[in-house]
Structure 1
């Protein structure tokens, strides 16, 4: 009888610990990002190193202090892909990272597939926004756009 209680207690503690780890990874550290003046969406121009603010409407974003790779954002822009490619740096090898399931505007596999098909175009937003991490923005033909952080070539 004591062995059953001990085994049951171990299983219960393991379940509680697993649920706590799951919750902290998906919810605990994330915060909404405010895109007020000084924290707007920017892209790096072809000529120059200083990122420029672009028109971005309905920006919704999340981030966490626990890792620079947890940033995600969704927005729309009236700027065309043609204008953007003539003005801003295209980003080589963009790889959108998965967002938590509750941040449902960001579909990393869908964005990645569109980038591979050439439907969406990725641009360098900001190089080394954190050491070894770039902010990348992908823009679709209809103006929907998505931003994330990924390790840059210097860190890979």
Structure 2
């Protein structure tokens, strides 16, 4: 009887582990359908209002289960240096890991390119969801990536503290 119970417990654990893996890596993600016009936006230094830049080969995934699951890949004819003259740089840009099946987005490669100066990160849109910014990075070879990450206000409010005066009021 003990061997049967042990086998059942192990079988249940394996099934539960497989289901959790599938849910985290595949189930919640959906492919984003590009509109071909404003899928890639950056925030200009002058106006502060996001505007579209030239791009091609856009692919993206997102999930309703979390505002920071968005990942996108694209190419652009614009160089990071030219973009830096016009658009706001992103502070503390850290690419978040994407599921392995979304192979165009390699967070380690993007992070290394940002650290080495081969790519630059820009603010795509501030507070795309409360406390979440969209970050766009462009490599010198024309590849680009976008992801969403928690901003300063989000870190404070999501930890349960009241919003600082420089932050917009959190939603109810």
Same fold (TM over 0.5): yes
What SS does the aligned partner of 2:9 have?
Answer: helix
- Alpha-carbon separation, structure 2, partners of 1:38 and 1:154: 30
What SS class does the counterpart of residue 54 from structure 2 fall into?
coil
Q: Residue 63 of structure 1 corresponds to which residue in structure 2?
A: 62
Describe the superposition over 1:104-152 as per-residue Cα deviations: whole angstroms up to 9, x where unpaired.
0000011001111111100000000111100000001111000000001
Question: Residue in 1 aligned with 2:22?
Answer: 23
| Farther off after superposition, 74-83 or 119-128 | 74-83
Shift of 1:155: 2.2
Aligned to 1:79: 78
Judging changes above 3 Å, is the alpha-carbon distance between structure 1 residues 68 and 111 closer, same or farther for their aligned structure 2 residues?
same
Distance 2:15 2:80 in 1: 48
Q: Any conservation in 2 of the 1:35–1:41 contact (CA below 8 Å)?
A: no
Structure 1 segments (4+ residues) deviating >3 Å: none
Map 1:114-153 → 2, pairs under 5 A? 114-153=113-152
- Aligned CA-pair RMSD: 1.0
- Does 1:9 pair with 2:22? no
Distance 2:81 2:34 in 1: 25
1:76–1:145 CA contact under 8 A, matched in 2:
yes
Taking the aligned partners of 1:104 and 1:17, their CA distance within structure 2 comes to 26
Task: Give unmatched runs, 5+ long, in structure 2.
Answer: 156-172
C-alpha distance 86-39 of structure 1, shift in aligned 2 (>3 A): closer
Distance in 2 (CA, whole Å) between partners of 1:143 and 1:24 is 33
Q: Which residue of 2 aligns with 1:43?
A: 42
- TM-score, with structure 1 as normaliser: 0.96
In structure 2, how many angstroms separate the alpha carbons of the residues matched to 1:18 and 1:40?
Answer: 35
CA distance in 1, matches of 2:16, 2:82: 51
Unaligned runs of 5+ in 1: none
Three-state SS of the structure 2 residue aligned to 1:87 is coil
Residues 127 and 57 of structure 1: is their aligned pair in 2 closer, same or farther, counting only changes over 3 Å? same
